[in-house]
Structure 1
């Protein structure tokens, strides 16, 4: 290394070599400020310049910054010197999943957990327009809690890599895991190709060996092209059915990730990314999607009428006005986790409306004192179960500010529901959405003006 004392830029103490490739080496390291264990990928600039891989390294950096998911290796930071590029990444203490499979087939429940986590990660990548294109056990790592982490995005492709026909045309990947259409060199759907590779991984986890293997590469490609494989007799019937749908040589009829997630075998003991802290944030009376409590609708209504949301004073309102909102400096507005609106309806009407929307969205409602409600999806999303908090603040008895905020799950899923379902459904009780100057032609009021007018009318 450049620094003989094995201290990199006075920030990381470098340790043992974890692995190496043609153009990079990966070292274990420790942060000198936090004592956190990390992995540092060291890339030789001269080597990648000589073989023209600069764009590939840039793409890998942009992809890793884009795909932040519990089952994807996280990129903490990038550092560079005149001769080296350093990727400071999450350290996966458990090593490669390949090392486990090399010892023999895994138990069904263990294989299913890894497959669930793999599908969750790949689904999330696809939702961000990222296609891995080299999914195999060697690129799947395990952390100290035995959770799977997808790594090595060196061969990944972004949505903009597609040609005018909407397909990818670069042949890449590991032969035994590559989809038939990739071998055919006629263009392929990156998502469909990744699904095939996930199917090969599932087969390997349960069998302990590859579904397509031959010492003659062309013969192996022929088997892949016709999907010629046999399931061992210990494979459950549900797994066999799922594998034949995943390892379908025709990408147009190959099963989608959404359908994989709906399969009975996949759903067993479904792994959730949701943490205990998030579950306990609203310790309240659960209601079903219809919004009715176990004590009956009458009790619910009387409790609803007695709800008194926390008061919002003038200073709070002013601090929320557009002129004082600095969030645009730190985040893309399209990815914001919260949105606010004002309403001239009493709290009971607002709560009733929110419960109706939850029913339409088939979401479970949880309530907590003080005007806080939580909507939870019934199905697992790309980053766990989607949860949305709705908090009502009282300015006057008939003037309220409501904040909607994503508390768990995928931000893109939240934004889609907010835009396509919640905003249109809330239209009849909304006075003004934050950031929008008017709802009706005569209304051009900032939040502080809304407060003043509402108080005068009260």
Structure 2
């Protein structure tokens, strides 16, 4: 941190966040503690990623895009939540929930846990993993180092950098990338013959439970090849202090044949698991209206004022200043190259129609397409499909931003459902119905006039 003229410490401020101590550092990112300076703020963790290193390293942009997309999909009490993604010319900043209790690993290194404590953490782990699996997401790196604790001792799954989505399945319906931490990885992953990501996660859950109850790993050896041999045979020793019910559960998790491995519904029916279990309530959004009642206005990195007021009675759309417009439409700050595929459909259009007209048109088009439609704060329209698609129900939010007198920018955001369904929605479904209010779709027209970019 920098120091002022009189020697006082000056902390770095990033928009509405004041950065504090370094929490951790990896190959591509640093994670900082930060304080939210806005009203009713609190603590957050901010992952800072260097853009240049992302571009230089093959596959890293796609991995970061996927990780952020997944974190937005899995809003659950036992998963570290993502607040927003910001960017400067040189860095990407992922703002996340801060887990004050640190890693569960720190508790394990001090010795094994009591069975009641181990059960409580395992129950929360299974609830989070099951939630992810129902959305087609496999974590692929479950271990105590990736399980955090909040200030109330609630478990939070983190680090979705190796997680997989259904779109990564090959023609055989299996995953083929060998990844994860060797001591926690399922035998089918190590064999490189393709594997079911959800079943592989359950093996890792079994290893985690063993570690919590025993205080050491089930499969360990100084020689990796010999450790793999133990994993391939599910060869481990069970200490005498582990109860019979817990032994049976671990034995059903650490099964070499993934087809015979216990499933999450079966885990949740076992007497050992059910003891004292209180199912967590998944975080919102639960319905279009409830989601739209939340205020998640963006942060400006140039220090200018953010006009995204949460005042529900506002009679005009929030104004987009020059920085926001550059951030969304200029290559200098464009995040689309980081978080969307090269085939990304245009998700932004400009209009010369009054904002109220644009909103009414969006609502009409959404209903015509058979979506549930709700209007929210900040001139937003949420559309949610009434039936499940490839990966759950598609949910889209359109927000109207006033960038100059008589000029509005409308941006579609992907909230839930399959990415391909969202791309088709933006590229094909909504266009015909909006034709009479669209000035230009992003990528379909010459650059906007300089006068628009200079608005405040």
- TM-score normalized with structure 1 length: 0.61
Q: In structure 2, what is the equivalent of residue 42 of structure 1?
A: 48
Which residues of 2 match residues 434-449 of structure 1 at below 5 A? none
Sort the Cα spacing of 1:26 and 1:253 in 2 relative to 1 into closer, same or farther, 3 A. same
CA shift at 1:123, angstroms?
A: 0.3
Q: In structure 1, what is the equivalent of residue 382 of structure 2?
A: 331
Q: 1:241 aligns with which of 232, 245, 248?
A: 248
Which residues of 2 match residues 381-400 of structure 1 at below 5 A? none
- Are 1:93 and 2:90 matched, yes or no? no
The DSSP-based 3-state class of the residue aligned with 2:258 is: coil
The DSSP-based 3-state class of the residue aligned with 1:131 is: coil
Structure 1 Cα separation of the partners of residues 124 and 386 of structure 2? 24
- Are 1:107 and 2:122 matched, yes or no? no
CA shift at 1:83, angstroms?
A: 1.0
CA shift at 1:129, angstroms?
A: 0.9
The superposition leaves residues 88-130 of structure 1 with CA deviations (integer Å, 9 ceiling, x where unpaired) of 0000000000000010000101100000000000000011111
Structure 2 Cα separation of the partners of residues 124 and 97 of structure 1? 20
Structure 2 Cα separation of the partners of residues 114 and 100 of structure 1? 12
Q: In structure 2, what is the equivalent of residue 23 of structure 1?
A: 28
Sort the Cα spacing of 1:274 and 1:160 in 2 relative to 1 into closer, same or farther, 3 A. closer
Q: In structure 2, what is the equivalent of residue 437 of structure 1?
A: none
Structure 2 Cα separation of the partners of residues 253 and 269 of structure 1? 27
The superposition leaves residues 17-75 of structure 1 with CA deviations (integer Å, 9 ceiling, x where unpaired) of 11111111110000111331000011111222222211001000100011100000000
Q: In structure 2, what is the equivalent of residue 453 of structure 1?
A: none
Sort the Cα spacing of 1:6 and 1:179 in 2 relative to 1 into closer, same or farther, 3 A. same
Sort the Cα spacing of 1:231 and 1:214 in 2 relative to 1 into closer, same or farther, 3 A. same
The DSSP-based 3-state class of the residue aligned with 1:206 is: helix
Are the equivalent residues in 2 in contact too, given 1:42–1:86 (CA < 8 A)?
yes
Q: In structure 2, what is the equivalent of residue 192 of structure 1?
A: 199
Structure 2 Cα separation of the partners of residues 3 and 163 of structure 1? 54
Are the equivalent residues in 1 in contact too, given 2:33–2:46 (CA < 8 A)?
yes
The superposition leaves residues 338-397 of structure 1 with CA deviations (integer Å, 9 ceiling, x where unpaired) of xxxxxxxxxxxxxxxxxxxxxxxxxxxxxxxxxxxxxxxxxxxxxxxxxxxxxxxxxxxx
The DSSP-based 3-state class of the residue aligned with 1:331 is: strand
- TM-score normalized with structure 2 length: 0.61
Are the equivalent residues in 1 in contact too, given 2:46–2:93 (CA < 8 A)?
yes
Q: 1:221 aligns with which of 219, 222, 228?
A: 228
Using CA pairs under 8 Å that are at least 6 residues apart, name the structure with larger relative contact order, 1 or 2: 2
List structure 1 segments (4+ residues) > 4 angstroms apart after TM superposition.
1-5, 320-323
Structure 2 Cα separation of the partners of residues 90 and 272 of structure 1? 21
Are the equivalent residues in 2 in contact too, given 1:67–1:125 (CA < 8 A)?
yes
Which residues of 2 match residues 5-20 of structure 1 at below 5 A? 5-20=10-25
Q: In structure 2, what is the equivalent of residue 201 of structure 1?
A: 208
CA shift at 1:160, angstroms?
A: 1.0
Are the equivalent residues in 2 in contact too, given 1:30–1:36 (CA < 8 A)?
yes
Structure 2 Cα separation of the partners of residues 331 and 238 of structure 1? 47
The superposition leaves residues 236-265 of structure 1 with CA deviations (integer Å, 9 ceiling, x where unpaired) of 111111111100010011111110111110
Structure 1 Cα separation of the partners of residues 206 and 374 of structure 2? 42
Structure 2 Cα separation of the partners of residues 2 and 61 of structure 1? 31
Structure 2 Cα separation of the partners of residues 58 and 8 of structure 1? 25
Which residues of 2 match residues 101-180 of structure 1 at below 5 A? 101-180=108-187
Q: In structure 2, what is the equivalent of residue 211 of structure 1?
A: 218
Q: Which has the larger Rg?
A: 1
Are the equivalent residues in 2 in contact too, given 1:117–1:271 (CA < 8 A)?
no
Q: In structure 2, what is the equivalent of residue 78 of structure 1?
A: 85
Pairwise CA RMSD: 2.6
Long gaps (5+) in structure 1: 276-319, 337-410, 413-458
Structure 2 Cα separation of the partners of residues 67 and 214 of structure 1? 35
Sort the Cα spacing of 1:335 and 1:32 in 2 relative to 1 into closer, same or farther, 3 A. farther
Long gaps (5+) in structure 2: 5-9, 283-362, 388-415, 418-456
The superposition leaves residues 262-313 of structure 1 with CA deviations (integer Å, 9 ceiling, x where unpaired) of 11100001033259xxxxxxxxxxxxxxxxxxxxxxxxxxxxxxxxxxxxxx
